[in-house]
Amino acid sequence: MNKSSIRRGLTLLGTLIFAVGLAFMIIEEFTPYQTMSIILLVVGIVIILISNFYREKRSRD
C-alpha cells in the first residue's frame, strides 16, 4: 500500500466516525450518548489530522 491509499482510507474513516458522532449529538433520542458523541467527534478529527502525515512529497519539476 502506498501513502496515498493509506491517507485516503484514514480520511474516509475519520470522516465516517465524525459523522456518527455528529449524528448522535443532533438526534435528541440519543441524549444518554452525549459523552460518546463528543468522544467520536474528537477521535474523527484526530484521525483526519493523522492522515495529513501520510501526504506524499511533491517533486519540484
Q: Which domain holds residue 30?
A: 3-52
Structural domain tally of the chain? 1
- Phi, psi torsion values for 6, nearest 5 degrees: -65, -45
Res 58 pLDDT > 90: no
Q: What is the pLDDT of residue 61?
A: 61
Q: Is residue 58 part of a domain?
A: no
Q: Is residue 60 part of a domain?
A: no
**What is the Cα Rg of the chain in Å?**
15
Q: What is the pLDDT of residue 11?
A: 95
More confident residue, 28 or 16: 16
Q: Is residue 15 part of a domain?
A: yes
Provide the Cα torsion 36, 10, 46, 21; round to 10°: -20
Q: Is residue 21 part of a domain?
A: yes
Q: What is the pLDDT of residue 57?
A: 77
When the pLDDT of each residue in the chain is averaged and rounded to a whole number, the result is 89
Show the DSSP H helices in 1-61 as ranges.
3-26, 34-51
Res 41 pLDDT > 70: yes
More confident residue, 44 or 4: 44
